[in-house]
Amino acid sequence: SEADKGTYDYYMLKEIDEQPVVIRHLLDKYFDDAGKILLGDQLLADIQAADRLYIVAAGTSYHAGLVGARMLEQWAGLPTEVHVASEFAYDQPLLSQKPFFIFLSQSGETADSREVLQNINRAGFKSLTLTNVSNSTLWREATYALPLMAGPEIAVASTKAYVAQVTLEAILAYALSSRLDLDLEKELSRIAIEIQAIVDDKLTFKRVAEELLVNSQSAFYIGRGVDADVALEAALKLKEISYVQAEGFAAGELKHGTLALIEDGTPVITLLTQPKTAGLVRGNIAETQARGADTFTIATKSLATDGDGYVLPDVDPLLAPLLTVVPTQLLAYYTSLGRGLDVDHPRNLAKSVTVQ
Ligand code: G6P
């Protein structure tokens, strides 16, 4: 069955490897043969009629939401806020006149997200759930629901569901935009091929994990714009399965505190894919190196320099997370493995959190 580990030691690695296929499933599902996007006209009309979108999610799904909000704002021109479900549920921000809600949830069962959905249903607002589990609670209780097509995700640490969420958010934002300079279907097909190349290169990340992270107490991920969003996800992935204390943040914030933690040998991993801010990020890397940081930089081709650790192909800037997240998943996986831990079952954590 699809949920069979096969020759893999852990589900997590199997699920990382499945990511190119997940993108292809989404392309098959949401584009017709003529390249037209199939999301439902009424759904798109309801979103267009809103004056503000509210994305609500938890954990890795929240991090996927941060990326989606940028697409909805920058591609589709729709003001979008992203909220942690457990905060929104008990400290609801002031809402706009015509809000529309988007719930992101791999399981469709996260109790905090459901609490928000019940509140907004009582208020009569419309909503869309993107989930990997058809007929789950968040699927049934929202106005609209779309499947993530990722197949069962078994490892507690979420990987392919994140890629599926970002991909589906891209399709949604693109359908709501009038971008003519991007052929999204073609770009996503190419990205699936490029992800395949990264996972085929997994031993590179095994080596880097062993040299840089396995024996470290802490690690930092930095980047700007959408790279800062992936930095948060990268740090979460590392800490949840390897127990290395990890922090991800906007590179420009280094000087406001975290730089004090950088000493000889501190791992600093940088994501560098945004042309607008590449020069500033280079400056941030240099600041950490001057304090002795052990740096590893993952950069897109046209922004890469000789000392960088890994070079990714150029890609539309807001789609870069689909590529950058993959090396960070592999780094987390091999760090956990190198520390002799049970990758799929981190201590104290559950796959689906049905308590508030
Ligand atoms: C748990 C899982 C995470 C997941 C989060 C949100 O903490 O361990 O991997 O990101 O819940 O779950 P959801 O199913 O709502 O995406």
The whole model's pTM is what?
A: 0.97
Give me ligand 1 centre to Cα 112, in Å: 11
**351 Cβ closer than 6 Å to some ligand 1 atom:** yes
Question: Which tokens hold the place of 286?
Answer: 């240099």
Radius of gyration of the chain (CA): 20
- Rounded average pLDDT per 10-residue block, the chain, 356 residues: 82 98 98 95 98 98 98 98 97 96 98 97 98 98 98 96 98 93 96 98 98 97 98 98 97 92 96 98 97 98 96 98 98 98 90 85
Cα separation of the two ends of the chain:
33
Residue nearest to atom 13 of ligand 1 (CA): 105
Beta bridge partners of 37: 31
Hey, is 199 helix, strand or coil? helix
pLDDT number for residue 1: 53
**59 Cβ closer than 6 Å to some ligand 1 atom:** yes
Cβ neighbourhood burial of 306 (10 Å; 0-12, 13-18, 19+)? exposed
**158 Cβ closer than 6 Å to some ligand 1 atom:** yes
Q: Please report the ipTM that was assigned to this predicted complex.
A: 0.97
Hey, is 152 helix, strand or coil? coil
Going from the C-alpha of 132 to that of each of 221, 222, 237, the distances in angstroms are 28, 29, 19
pLDDT tens digit sequence for 282-292: 999 999 999 99
What is the C-alpha to C-alpha distance for residues 153 and 146, in angstroms, rounded to an integer? 17
**13 Cβ closer than 6 Å to some ligand 1 atom:** no
pLDDT tens digit sequence for 45-94: 999 999 999 999 999 999 999 999 999 999 999 999 999 999 999 999 99
Question: Which tokens hold the place of 189?
Answer: 């097909």
Closest alpha carbon to 337 in 326, 346, 325, 349? 346
**37 Cβ closer than 6 Å to some ligand 1 atom:** no
